[in-house]
Amino acid sequence: MAERITVIDTHTGGEPTRVIVAGGPELGSGTMAQRLAVFHERFDRYRSAVVNEPRGSDVMVGAILLPPQNAERAAGVIFFNNVGYLGMCGHGAIGVAVALDHLGKIGSGVHRLETPVGEVTIELEGKNTVAIENVVSYRIAKDVAVDVPGLRAYKGDIAWGGNWFFLVHDHGETLAADNIERLTDVSWRIRQTLEARGITGEGGALIDHIELFGPSGQGASGKSFVLCPGRAYDRSPCGTGTSAKLACLAADGALREGEIWRQESIIGSVFEGTVRLLNGGRVAPRIRGTAYVCGESTLIIDPADPFAWGIRS
């Protein structure tokens, strides 16, 4: 018999989030980190069915809504993409907030979500405007040199914003929408070299997001190109990437508490970020963006369909 999965599609600054609201796998009652492990080990085909072709694409990020451990929280959520799972996802959390409002499950005001890397706050400020307070973010290394074969030497900062990022400023590339193929190639080769050289996040964690920075053409504080783990670029300014950037700015003394940093994406969408300064050079980042519901549908997984569980490369 065919399986049916109900989803709501949203996009946040152009970056899609497909939210599973019913019909997803049964992941138990553990923490979101424990449920992520169950998802990965026993039900990974659902991840592929929801975000990969023929129903999705490399750029699609998925989110599964789950009963929270703490009944006072709005929901638990696990984010995933074309190649695996994300600790947190900023644009995705903004999309989830708008989807929860669309479902009538939350109203305006402050709510909390449980994620595999900790709780985050979502504040629904209007029908489409959401501010999230992300997990505590921090930089662990500044100006790490990496010599990329066939390209050149780069220096980047390693920072956590809910995922691990390598943030590069002096790259010599043009941050423009008509240069995305080149930006993808450069970022991917930087990522591969980091991995080959054993340059990691804390505890040997893979650095799977690369951010190239440059000046904004539309009056924002800066512009970025963000390459995600599955080689798709983020259409939004990337919530966890902006959090990592805010942590670096604060560590350099270049951002005061409450000062607004406007981060422009490679397609021109903008997030506003601020920080609360914490002990040990860490920050609590707050990211504001807008998301829209753009679809409501039922995915059908027909066992007779040879690509029922998605095209997995």
Candidate residues 91, 191, 245, 288; the one interacting with ligand PYC per rule CB under 6 A: 91
Place of tokens 């929408």: 177
Place of tokens 């423009």: 176
**Position 83 contacts ligand PYC (CB under 6 A):** no
For residue 128, CA distances in Å to 75, 90, 113 come to 19, 15, 18
Burial of 24 (0-12, 13-18, 19+ CB in 10 A): buried
Nearer to ligand PYC, 236 or 290 (CB): 236
**Position 32 contacts ligand PYC (CB under 6 A):** no
Q: Which of 89, 228, 248, 294 is catalytic?
A: 89
CB of 123 to ligand PYC, least distance (A): 16
Q: Which of residues 121-180 bind ligand PYC (CB under 6 A)?
A: none
**Position 207 contacts ligand PYC (CB under 6 A):** no
Q: Which residues contact 273 (CB under 8 A, 6 or more apart)?
A: 242, 243, 245, 246, 260, 261, 262, 263, 285, 286, 287, 288
Q: 3-state class of 297 per DSSP?
A: strand
3-state helix, strand and coil shares in percent for the chain, rounded to the nearest 5: 25, 40, 40
Cα–Cα distance measured from residue 238 to residue 252, given in angstroms and rounded to the nearest whole number: 21
Q: Which of 228, 238, 248, 294 is catalytic?
A: 238
Nearer to ligand PYC, 114 or 308 (CB): 114
Q: Which of residues 214-253 bind ligand PYC (CB under 6 A)?
A: 228, 234, 236, 238-240
Q: Does residue 89 have an active-site annotation?
A: yes
CB of 83 to ligand PYC, least distance (A): 11
Q: Does residue 248 have an active-site annotation?
A: no
**Position 290 contacts ligand PYC (CB under 6 A):** no
Contact residues toward ligand PYC (CB under 6 A) are: 15, 61, 86, 89-91, 228, 234, 236, 238-240
The set of catalytic residues is 89, 238
